[in-house]
Chain A
Amino acid sequence: MIDLIRDYGLILLFFVLPILFVLEPFFFSNAGSLNKKDEFSILKRKKILLYRQIKELEMEYDIGNINNRDFVQMRDKLKQEVSEVISKLNK
């Protein structure tokens, strides 16, 4: 009896459950893609990256590693990029 339970248990573990788990999306999910959601998350990550770069730039300036002309030029460029990303996100 124990042998029988073990054998069926193994069959269940090795074949039935994995196959059900793998094939489930065919029965319960819709075809299509999540690309729109993906684009949104890419833009959000881009925004975070740009904000981080602005903060680091400000720190470099405070330390005295960047001169005023370079700082203003680089910060303006980054700010412009952020505003473009934000406007895309708002759309």
Chain B
Amino acid sequence: MTPVAGGSALSLSFGFSLLTVITLLIYTKNQDYRLFLVGQRLALGVSFFIFIATFILSYQLIISNFDIDYVARYTSIETPTIYKISALWAGQSGSLLFWLFILSIFSTITIIQNQNKHHELMPWVIISLTITQMFFLILTNYVTNPFKPTEADFIVTNGNGLNPLLQNITMAIHPPTLYLGYVGFSVPFAFAISALVNRDTSPLWIQSIRRWVLVAWLFLSMGIILGGWWAYQELGWGGYWAWDPVENASFMPWLTATAFLHSIIIQEKKDMLRLWNMVLIILTFTLCIFGTFLTRSGVMSSVHSFTESSLGPIFLSFVFLILIASFGIMYIRLDDLKSPRKIESFTSRESGFLFNNMVFVVLCFAVFWGTLFPVISEAVRGIKITVGAPFFNQINTPIGLILLALTGVGPLLAWRRTGAKNLIRNFTFPIISGFVAAIFFIIIGYKGYAVISFSLCVFVTVSIMTEFSQGIRARTNKFKESVFIALVKMISKNRSRYGGYIVHVGIVLMFVGFTGHAFDREKEFSLQIGQVDHVAGYEFELINLSESERPNHYAWISELRVSDNQGRFITNLYPEKRVYFHKNPDINRRQPHSELDIYSTLNKDIYSIFSSIDNEKGIAFLKIMINPLVKWVWIGGYVLVFGTVIALWPRKEK
């Protein structure tokens, strides 16, 4: 009965979504306010039924109701409860329902938040959000229904269980965070479409969505960082970013969203770049849908699997529909999108922002091209030509470094124009610092991009510090405050500006971590108990090999003693070789997995992988990697989140 209720909730939600769009379209013609209220409530109804469907599926996952195909395929009796819940987004139909669930939360918040404001904009905002919901409702109702009963030929005894790689706490958090980012851009997009329809292209609509953009951007950033963290902790190849299509799918909207986040400042302050901002938000939202398409359609494994599944073509049609409809409306409204002001000087903050925008979009295009190239080559020539990490690194590293440099240049430029005197005053110290750093790094033996990256990190840090010190000096002179009070008040009164600078500091720290990759070392070897081997000046001794049976897996645990080249003890590492579903009588269903162990410091990570074991001879096959500066990527991530929260923190308007 309950699964039927879940399916019915989805059907009712689809019906309500149709009624919402029709009612609000009628309202836009006859302006009967009651129709607007009815449309608003219908939209809340759409979300209400989606909430019910999501809760029903979550409950069925928790109680292991294997009558539902999805539950049988992604959980087993032994799956811990937390991972039974996270199984909601582990499979295709569940993850699409989860997309809908988050969109419904955002839609409900938007409707409630704007009950008494934006009456001009809200009908089209709700229509846009509901059409997006409708699309996912079509998928979950008619293409891949999460409440589909278990097929008669699918033998269920204990459930298939969740992929061991997904049985990790980061993986329980990473997809929801990423989805919050993806879905979050639906709201600014809906406002943008509504602003276009209503010919309201002034800075005011931008002001309404600035917070939404920041929230979505924050979650998307956190999702990407958590994904990298999970890959680093769980996948066992020693890296956090492989330019995998799924990773790129989240990175592309992040790039355009970051460009948008910068360019809306120009529109808000100077009423410029109206058209450009529309293009960016449309691209960002489309890339969010496109990202979901890439991960869910199977197109990346083969164009044939794309055409075989009905999901791929429907998704792609929706992507084209968004592009055609959005750019169509934009074309009709071109006259309204002409900004009343123009950029006055090349050496102005406006032009710095615009240039940074261009670089973001170029970077996005490079990632887009590299990601889709295998698909395009297979479709056109019948041969799949894969471009791997070397292609992306070769193209994107210089572009990334230009962006890093611009992060330092932007704050040093004044609005409107920067005079020669100010240019010299603002740039001298950061540029000299960058050069001194470059000379230092060359002297200690660094080469190539590593020198450029580290020196740019110094340049940007000094430029941000200059900006902070100038602000503090201005306040101490004007209000006679102490340095500390001036700093606190300066940040508190200009949260978006200084929060943004803190985010830039986070980006710099992340670049320090990225650059450390140039100095990675690794070695594979085998050890018996008591034997030692050396990697990059460290000694590894296998002290012990033990076994343990746990609720959902069987584990072989190696104990490695790590010491430095002078024999001083550093740490013990315990990488494991696991077999999940070890009780399954079908050997093919048992899943081996290497659970690694990492000793992490600010300077470097010692990364240990237990690749396999020879039980008869008691030999452990191990892989050790020495990864310098990785921790700075995660520290940079924390700083980025901290800065965004400062920028987001609401302020009282006097």
Check A65–B418 contact: CB distance below 8 A.
yes
A76 near B: Cβ within 8 Å?
no
Cα A21 to Cα B31 in complex, Å, equals 21
Q: Is B33 touching A33 in the complex (CB atoms < 8 A)?
A: yes
B38 touches A23 (CB 8 A): yes
User: With A62-B478, A65-B418 known to touch, is A29 a contact of B37 (CB < 8 Å)?
Assistant: yes
> Is the CB–CB distance between B34 and A31 below 8 Å?
yes
Instruction: Given A29-B33, A45-B204, answer yes or no on A59-B494 (Cβ-Cβ < 8 Å).
Output: yes
Chain B CB within 10 Å — which of A21, A29, A63 has the most? A63
A residues 48-91 touching B (CB-CB < 8 Å):
48-49, 51-53, 55-56, 59-60, 62-67, 70, 74
Q: A34 near B: Cβ within 8 Å?
A: yes
Contact of B416 among A24, A29, A42, A70 (CB under 8 A): A70
In whole angstroms, how far apart are the Cα atoms of A37 and B418 in the complex? 42
CB of B443, distance to nearest CB on chain A (Å): 35
Q: Which residue of chain A has its CB nearest to the CB of B27?
A: A33
For the complex formed, measure the closest distance between the CB of A65 and the CB atoms of chain B, giving whole angstroms.
Answer: 4
Known A21-B41, A38-B120, A65-B415; judge A26-B34 contact (CB<8 A): yes
Give a binary string over A1-21; 1 marks a CB under 8 Å from any B CB, 0 the rest.
Answer: 000001000100110001001
B41 touches A64 (CB 8 A): no
Q: Nearest B residue to A25 by beta-carbon distance?
A: B37
Asked if residues B414 and A66 are in contact (CB atoms below 8 Å), the reply is yes
Q: Which of B34, B42, B471, B477 is the one whose CB lies under 8 Å from A29?
A: B34
> For residues 155 through 213 of chain B, which have their beta carbon under 8 Å from a beta carbon of chain A?
203-204, 207
Q: Are B425 and A64 in contact (CB under 8 A)?
A: yes
Q: In the docked arrangement, what's the CA distance between A48 and B116, Å?
A: 18
Nearest CB in chain B to that of A23: its residue: B38
Contacts of B52 on A, CB cut-off 8 Å? 13
User: Do residues B41 and A35 form an inter-chain contact, with CB atoms below 8 A?
Assistant: no
Residues from chain B with Cβ under 8 Å of A6 in the complex: 1
**Chain B residues near A70 (CB-CB < 8 A):** 416-417
CB distance from B403 to the nearest CB of A (A): 22
What is the minimal beta-carbon distance from A85 to any residue of chain B, in angstroms? 12
Which of B5-13, B136-144, B374-382 is the contact stretch? B5-13
What residue of chain A has the Cβ atom nearest to residue B40's Cβ?
Answer: A25
B414 to chain A: closest residue by CB: A65
Q: What's the Cα separation between A21 and B44 when bound, in Å?
A: 10
Q: Number of B residues contacting the other chain (C-beta, 8 Å)?
A: 48
Could you tell me how many residues of chain A have their Cβ less than 8 Å away from some Cβ of chain B? 41
Q: Which residues of B from 464 to 479 have beta carbons under 8 Å from A?
A: 470-471, 474-475, 477-478
Q: Which chain B residue lies CB-closest to A52?
A: B653
Known: A45-B204, A63-B474. A33 touches B1 (CB 8 A): no
Q: Does B419 contact A (CB under 8 A)?
A: yes
A-contact bits for B29-68, CB 8 A (1 contact / 0 none): 0011110111001101100110010000000000000000
Chain B, 400-423, contact with A by CB distance < 8 Å: what is the 0/1 string? 000000000000001111110010
Instruction: Please name all residues of chain A whose beta carbon is closer than 8 Å to the beta carbon of B42 when the two chains form the complex.
Output: 22
Of the residues A18, A35, A53, A67, contact of B48 by C-beta under 8 Å: A18
A38-B118 in contact (CB<8A): yes
Q: How far, in whole Å, are A15 and B1 apart by their CA atoms in the complex?
A: 17
**Contact pick for A65, options B31, B268, B422, B653, CB 8 Å:** B422
B-side contacts of A65, CB under 8 Å: 414-415, 418, 422
Q: Enumerate chain B residues within 8 angstroms of A26, measured Cβ to Cβ.
A: 34, 38
Is B617 part of the binding interface, using a Cβ–Cβ cutoff of 8 Å? no
Q: Name the contact of A38 in the complex, choosing from B45, B119, B425 (C-beta under 8 A).
A: B119
Q: How far is the CA of A47 from the CA of B119 in the complex (A)?
A: 19
A14 to B6, CA, bound (A): 11
A36 to chain B, nearest CB (A): 10
Q: Please give, as numbers and ranges, the residues of chain A lying within 8 Å of B117 by CB-CB distance.
A: 38, 41
- Complex alpha-carbon distance, A52 and B475, angstroms: 17
Q: Does B269 make an interface contact (CB < 8 A)? A: yes
What's the Cα separation between A14 and B2 when bound, in Å? 13
In the bound complex, residues from chain A placing their C-beta under 8 Å from that of B45 are 18, 21-22
**How distant is the Cα of A13 from the Cα of B2 in the complex, in angstroms?**
13
Cβ contacts under 8 Å, A10 to chain B: 5
Of the candidates B5, B36, B118, B471, which one forms a contact with A63 in the assembled complex, judged by CB atoms under 8 Å apart?
A: B471
Inter-chain contact A14/B12, CB cutoff 8 Å: yes
Residues of B within 8 A of A14 (CB): 5, 8-9, 12, 49
Q: Is the CB of A53 within 8 A of B269?
A: yes
Within 8 A of A (CB), among B493-513: 493-494, 497
Cα A34 to Cα B268 in complex, Å, equals 26
Cβ of A23: which chain B residues have Cβ within 8 Å of it?
A: 38
Once the chains are docked, how many angstroms separate the CA of A42 from the CA of B653?
Answer: 15
Asked if residues B653 and A48 are in contact (CB atoms below 8 Å), the reply is yes
Whether the Cβ atoms of A30 and B33 lie closer than 8 Å is yes
CB distance from A17 to the nearest CB of B (A): 9
Bound state CA distance, A48 and B117, in angstroms?
Answer: 15
In the complex, what's the smallest C-beta–C-beta distance from B29 to chain A, in angstroms?
A: 13
- The reply to whether B33 and A34 contact each other, CB–CB distance below 8 Å, is yes
Contacts of B475 in A (CB 8 A): 62
- The smallest C-beta distance from A31 to any residue of chain B, in angstroms, reads 5
- Given A23-B38, A25-B41, A59-B494, check contact A31 B33 (CB 8 Å): yes
Please give 4 more A-B residue pairs, beta carbons under 8 A apart, in addition to A18-B48, A22-B38: A14-B5, A14-B49, A25-B37, A64-B474
The 8 listed contacts between A and B (C-beta, < 8 Å) are: A14-B12, A22-B41, A49-B207, A52-B653, A60-B414, A65-B414, A65-B422, A70-B417
A interface residues with partner B (beta carbon < 8 Å): 6, 10, 13-14, 18, 21-26, 29-35, 37-38, 41-42, 45-46, 48-49, 51-53, 55-56, 59-60, 62-67, 70, 74
